[in-house]
Amino acid sequence: MLTLVPTPIGNLQDITLRALAVLKEADIILAEDTRTSKVLLNHFGIDKRVLSHHQHNEHAALSELIRFMKEGQKIAMVSDAGTPGISDPGFLLVRECIKEEIPVLCLPGATAFVPALVMSGLPCDRFIFEGFLPQKKGRQTRLLALKEENRTMIFYESPFRLIKLIDECILHFGEERMASVSREISKMFEETKRGTLLSLKNYFETKGVKGEIVMVVEGVK
């Protein structure tokens, strides 16, 4: 079977007991970056066969992984941080397992956008998760389509492109639209900054941007 195992997005203590049990029982652990995952595995004394599984090799690896599971091996899949499949590899393997009638289980656990949404102070009863917008082709088309979106919008972004994203949101949504930027969630320098898009632009242009970013934007009223 295949089990998707969420891993901490910062603080290693956020791992669940069930996640540790699944990782200890797995025959193979698939990791987005084996170096990153081995830090976690070594911390908890888990010594298993770890295979690299990322966006550049996931298509080529499907048939072999399916064969392993049909032979009875248990595979656990982790990403560098958070829940596999959420802006990370996972979807292709899950789809193939379902097609081949191999059991799939996803454990509940960490994902960055949930705490960012809750901490934003913006409505979280209805929201839309956009993840990373396309870097080039289709980016402006997607933002234009969100211009009349009335649900709270959630974006992932690189610290190197945050100001660009804020500028684009100002262009399409207006500089007075309320938003929130959370960075380094669960880590030592965690920060959530709230305000209008213009105030967030001014703040991060002055302070600079570091860390993993989640931006939450108010929907149109």
pTM of the model: 0.90
Q: Which residue has the tokens 């009335």?
A: 150
CATH of the domain at 132: 3.30.950.10
C-alpha radius of gyration, the chain, whole number: 19
When the pLDDT of each residue in the chain is averaged and rounded to a whole number, the result is: 95
Count of the separate structural domains present in the chain: 2
CA distances from 220 to 112, 122, 127, 146, 160 (A): 24, 12, 12, 9, 27
As a whole number of angstroms, the distance between CA 92 and CA 191 comes to 33
Q: What is the pLDDT of residues 13-50, one digit of tens each?
A: 999 999 999 999 999 999 999 999 999 999 999 999 99
As a whole number of angstroms, the distance between CA 164 and CA 201 comes to 9
Among residues 73, 106, 139, the one where a domain terminates is 106
Same domain as 101, residue 28:
yes
Among residues 56, 74, 106, the one where a domain terminates is 106
Same domain as 60, residue 25:
yes
Same domain as 141, residue 98:
no
Q: Name the residue range of residue 33's domain.
A: 2-106
Same domain as 58, residue 120:
no
pLDDT at residue 219 in the model: 97
Query: What value does the mean pLDDT take over residues 128-138?
Result: 93
